[in-house]
Amino acid sequence: MSHVLHLRPSVPSGTHPIETGRYTLFTPPLGRFCDDLKNWVDNRAVGAIVTAPPRFGKSKGIRFAIDELRAGLGATFPVLSFSCQDHQRPTEARFFENLLSDFGHGFSDRGSSNARQARLIQFLVQQACVGHHRRLVLIADEAQKLQEPHYNWLVDIYNKLDRHDITTTVVLVGQPELIHQRAAFEKAKKMQIVGRFMVHLHEFAGLRNQKDFAYCLKGYDDESEYPEASGYSFTRYFFPSGFEAGWRLAGEAKVLWEAFQHVRAEAKLPGKAEIPMQYFSRTVEFALRNYGSMDGGQPTISLNQWKEAIERSGYREAGRYL
């Protein structure tokens, strides 16, 4: 029998965040990263590296952590991020151009390498002095692509900012090769690089247990909302009647964890059961899109349905290389 509670906001097909993937939910690994980042900034640490295998949510985590940092330190607190480029033959001119471009500077490709460096330093000093902070946080994504010349140019930037009395914290975010790069620099006595950019280490983790699953699933129940100000969390949108009756996705944490263990065992996947956020999210998104129901009563998502969702996420194939 139809019921008014079955109604939900009208959203054009294909535009809900669950369909586009354009959303970020707070997770235990993300919380640990935000805590470490805040501590580094509070203590004026000179540099740190953050590592994780692909698909563990580093890039989304960076954007979320920057927002959290600004929420705590003020909207004008200068945090700048850039994506490292993979060049066979790195040059100063190209490196400074990439940084200026990623920072949104309108004249990134003008002039010699010295002119671009001067423009970059001037821009960074201006950013650091907004709100009289005289502080700067630089976050480098895909930092495993950096080569020794890049680090030497970063040392130059760091030293020039220091002469302007600017305190800089550099955070290198990338794949686990960064740890090997640090070891290689230590062995080669390149302490001017290690001491500035690689003092601290944070290893970005996946979801490790049922408790982590429950925490993340609760985000779909309570911490999400679309459309804005509609009162409809992601779970409520796809299971409106079940949600009204008290059903929550967080209650599926146990069976979902078991489903991942089944898939891992059947595929004989190596390593620890540490689930990358991307494959967890894709699994939940598939379940919401395909098992969501407007009908009344308590929804039921079986173990086999969760296993199907995991398979559709691509986890079985990718798990061999994580």
Residue in this structure with the two tokens 């495993």, named with its chain if needed: 144
Confidence (pTM): 0.86
- The full set of domains in the chain, from first to last, is 28-203 (3.40.50.300), 207-321 (no CATH)
Q: Which parts of the chain register pLDDT below 70?
A: 1-6
The alpha-carbon radius of gyration of the chain (Å, integer) is 23
H/E element, 41:
helix 28-42
* Tokens at 229, concatenated: 């100000």
Residue 6 is predicted with a pLDDT of 59
Residue 4 is predicted with a pLDDT of 46
Q: What is d(CA 192, CA 104) in angstroms, rounded to the nearest whole number?
A: 29
Q: What is d(CA 253, CA 125) in angstroms, rounded to the nearest whole number?
A: 48
Q: What is d(CA 124, CA 178) in angstroms, rounded to the nearest whole number?
A: 25
Cross-sheet strand order for the sheet of 200-203:
79-83, 135-141, 167-174, 47-51, 200-203
Q: DSSP readout, 134-150?
A: -EEEEEEETGGG--HHH
